Chains A and B, each alone.
Chain A
Amino acid sequence: MQGFVSGMHRSAARGSSVEFAEYRKYSPGDDPRFLDWRIFAKTDRFYIREFEADTNLRCYIVVDTSGSMRFGTGTVQRIDRAKSIAATLAHVLINQGDAVGLCGIGQSAPSDIPPRRAAKHLPVIYNRLADLKAANGNLLVSGLHQLAERIKQRSLVIVISDFFDEVSLLLECFKHLRFKKHDVALFHLLAPKELTFDFESPVNLVDTETGASLATDPLLLRDAYLESLNAYLQELRVGCANFRIDYQMHRLDNEYEKLLTDFFVSRLRRRRSSRA
């Protein structure tokens, strides 16, 4: 991460922290202050000592506000869970001195809040989250591409969505974000029914985004649906792995605290492993 202040997050760039990172051969233009004269005395070669750069975090929390986010369990809608997760993440990150921005991607124009680390920024985020409504269109793919172009500094981009779109298109977005040197984490929110498709009686399924309906006997569609969903999840997960993207799937009937704990723990492990 790269910020204007020193933070608790290890930066991808080499910096001026006290933690030694590695040696590398001197090249013209390097700061001679980092020449290791002892090594020169031993080997007659110039080596530069590099240290880990600790920096603060710039995080963009992207909340999908497409119509499909209205779906959920009987008590929780996906958009509500997304807001909760986003609010929790914002609270944690701002409290530890990181800058947090918010971006809602839906039918309406993207509503960005640029990242700030001030504590007074948190209510702004909360208010904006409260204003977010799940609209009818799905503009996640285009919204992410626009976001990738808008963000000028390397950031952590956390996308909270159901990702109901073509996996290839989604992976193109993620690739775009990664190309812009952003760290990307996905929170994939799925309702239990979307995972089990366990309707007991014939239903008329109404698309929450387009309003199209499909009257069917779910018992007949279930196998094919689960097969298709399974293929989609596998493709998505493999794609994320290829692009080194954190992927967390969350069932709406589960508590999201565990999801966040797992997320943070995985980030911590990743940091340690990369340091090792």
Chain B
Amino acid sequence: MNYLQPAMLWALPAMLIPVAVHLLNKMRYKNVDWAAMHFLLKIQKDSTRRAKLREILLLAARTLLILAIVLAFSRPISGGWLAKAISTTPECVIVLLDRSSSMGARTSINGGSKLERALSIVKESTAQHPARRYVLVENVDRQPLELQDISGLDSLELTVQTDTAANIPAMFQTAVEYLVHNQIAQSEIWVLSDLQATNWRIDDPSWKSVSEAITGLGQGTGVYVIDLSMAGAENTSTAAISATLRESDGYESGDKHGSPIHSPRASQLALKISLNTNKTQQHSLPTFLTVNGARSQSDVPLAGQRQTELFRLDYPETKAGWAKCEIPVDSSPGDNAAYFAWPPARRAVATVVGDPASASTRRIQLAAAPTSDSRQRSASIIPSRFLDSELLERTDLLVWADGTPSMEQVNLIMKWLEAGGVFLLFPPASEGASGLNGISWNRIESTEQSQPITSWDENDGPLSKTESGTNLPLHQVSVLTRQTPVTPQNSHVVATFSDGQSFLTRVPSGKGQLYLAATRVSESWSSLQDGTVLVPLLQRLLTQGLALREPLCMGIAGEWRPDPDEVWTFEPDCIGAEDQSNTRTRTPRTHSGVYRCGNRIIALNRPPTEDAHEAVHPGEILGLLPSSQTHVYEGAIESTSADEASEVWPLLMGLAIALLFSESILSTSKLNLTTRKPMEEGTTRVSRFGSVAL
């Protein structure tokens, strides 16, 4: 219990007054001779007990009455975290404000957000308990900002809702460094967060140093975490996965007679989104697509709580553009929009290094670019000696079909991979190190029985299911000869044989990806030459290489950092008219949306981690920080006012009135007794025994 007027507590000894009066009253008992003790002794037992009880009740009522009045005048604070926090006046209060995307969640469509609630808590608390200094640390800049006027907190740009993630341990680190640097002993750290697990990062090693630093600051430093987590609200979210602009081959799906229609220069825009919902009753979701400012609507059938949806749109141009996908606003408005941008369409280029006269090399070329005059993709075969940096610069997919690159070529390829692109390496047919990123090859294994491919990543990557949901026929691939690679630890096995050996392995290399196949496109090695697996594999790798080498068009708000010299402006058409007034505060560092810089365009979305609603448990927080100095309080929007810090003097005054009333009843009970008419000589008294003439 804490008090706004603690000086009034000096009046507490007044509680002894009734006790003293009681004792004095005891001493004032007069000795009176009494003859009719005979009757009193009969009733003494019960009456004395009642008398003592009455005395105790009276004494308690009078003592508590004074206590309640004194406490009421001392204005105690109770029922919330503030009461705990203001036990001493801190020199400095550091407010760690989580204004990540998830803090925009509301209890209802028209309700306030968690961030608004957080700001309200800070304002109310500081109004009731002014400290000497307030410092704000928010999750975007993570720089301590000393506040001159805490009442204007909600008008600061640094307290506006963002579409970013938060790094809570880093914010703590900033706060602790500030306290240590300024040598502040009496301080409090107020953390206002929804405890989203992805932001609190309980596995982050910096928590240890933060905890040690807070412990080192001493018991004068307290951490007060205001838990704004809120479970159970219905929510549907959407997120952007990819935007792909494909230039048409000139032949589209066909007319009503099934004949292909030649429409040169036509392009197709593919927008892929993910939908997550915790609603069980919803069967379809209205979805609004805005492509370069043109808005359309469609209903998406919902098949489950998580699904991926692909929108194919005819796109008459080949230049860059942007799109936005919206779903109806719900309790968490921050996750109801996804932004897309794409670069101008260009042809994907595959280079196959091998013998031009080899049938297997030719098959690989055809699989990568089935039509030689395609505007979408092209593939060429070159002997390994012709590979140079200029050629690599034009290449999106490099396929090494035969032999191993020289050390000089390895250097060129690694440099190329660092900048993007996909490199597919078939077995060299010789054992030993490849020189590529610590990769070496095992010996060749040949069997008469085909080694089946039993497992592969069918959800993601080059062997994933088709858009119609059909698996690639990898189980039909017959592999008679194989040479498995030895890969570094950061590699990812895409597909494996039945004995666990890898069929296809991916090794990340800078922005690029290196794929290692365990068999060749050769009749003596495998049936890959049939094309049922080889064609989609190479097509997808070429598309991936193209995407990796494209300039960045889609990024994460808060994480993407433009060059300091560049000026990126917000695309106002990508938000609704009701939000146009806020465009001034929208920057690539803080908000999702579409931004332009000259001809370049980028779509920024909230971090995917913000869609993970798991919250850390308060017990875990006490495990991260010194438990003796850390307190976690509920401050969620749905919490009642009883959970908030509030003055309890009205309650105490009510109690005082009740005690006064009780005291008066106990005291005036004697009036009822004395009103009884005394017995007179010759009168008749009615008793429970009947009438008696005296």
Q: Which A residues are within 8 Å of any B CB, using their own CB? A: 67-71, 78, 162, 164-165, 191-192, 194-199, 201-210, 212-217, 219-234, 237, 249-251, 254
Contacts and interface: CB of A to CB of B under 8 A. Distances in A.
A191 B35 contact: yes
B43 A225 contact: yes
**Residue with the highest number of chain B CB atoms closer than 10 Å, among A70, A165, A192, A216:** A216
Interface string B22-33: 000110111111
A214 B676 CA distance: 23
B670 A219 contact: yes
A206 B30 contact: no
A201 B679 contact: no
Contacts of A228: 39, 42-43
Contact of A225 (B39, B669, B674, B693): B39
B29 A215 contact: yes
Nearest to A165: B38
Contact of A204 (B29, B50, B51, B673): B29
B40 A205 contact: yes
Contact of A230 (B32, B680, B689): B689
Nearest to A194: B36
Contacts of B32: 199, 203-206
Contacts of A231: 687, 689
B35 A226 contact: no
Contact of B51 (A221, A230, A251): A221
Given A195-B679, A202-B25, A221-B47, A71 B35 contact: yes
| Shortest 7 CB-CB contacts between residues of A and residues of B | A196-B678, A68-B35, A71-B35, A205-B34, A219-B670, A224-B43, A207-B37
B43 A205 contact: no
B617 interface: no
22 contacts: A78-B35, A162-B35, A192-B678, A195-B680, A203-B31, A207-B35, A207-B37, A210-B37, A214-B44, A216-B40, A221-B51, A223-B673, A224-B46, A225-B40, A225-B43, A226-B676, A229-B39, A231-B689, A249-B681, A249-B694, A251-B681, A254-B681
A112 to B, nearest CB: 25
**Residue with the highest number of chain B CB atoms closer than 10 Å, among A71, A78, A191, A205:** A205
B599 interface: no
Interface string B679-694: 1110001011110111
A229 B41 CA distance: 12
Range of interface residues on B (Cβ < 8 Å): 35 or more
B47 A230 contact: no
Nearest to A228: B39
Contact of A70 (B33, B44, B50): B33
Nearest to B41: A214
Contacts of A196: 678-679
B28 A226 contact: no
A206 B33 contact: yes
A224 B47 contact: yes
Nearest to A262: B682
Contacts of A215: 29
Given A164-B38, A220-B54, 19 more contacts: A67-B35, A70-B33, A202-B26, A203-B29, A203-B32, A204-B29, A206-B32, A207-B35, A208-B35, A210-B37, A213-B31, A214-B41, A220-B47, A224-B43, A231-B689, A237-B692, A237-B694, A249-B694, A250-B681
A165 to B, nearest CB: 7
A225 B168 CA distance: 76
A253 to B, nearest CB: 9
Nearest to A238: B692
A220 B51 contact: yes
Contacts of B42: 228
A195 B38 CA distance: 14
Contact of A234 (B28, B670, B692): B692
A230 B25 contact: no
B48 interface: yes
A165 B39 CA distance: 9
Contacts of A219: 669-670, 673-674
Given A237-B693, A251-B681, A230 B35 contact: no
Contacts of A164: 35-38
Contact of A226 (B26, B47, B679): B679
Contacts of B28: 201-202
B34 A230 contact: no
A82 to B, nearest CB: 13
**Residue with the highest number of chain B CB atoms closer than 10 Å, among A78, A227, A250:** A227
B688 to A, nearest CB: 7
**Residue with the highest number of chain A CB atoms closer than 10 Å, among B39, B669, B676, B690:** B39
Contacts of A70: 33, 35
A164 B35 CA distance: 8
Interface in B644-694: 669-670, 673-674, 676, 678-681, 685, 687-690, 692-694
A201 B30 contact: yes
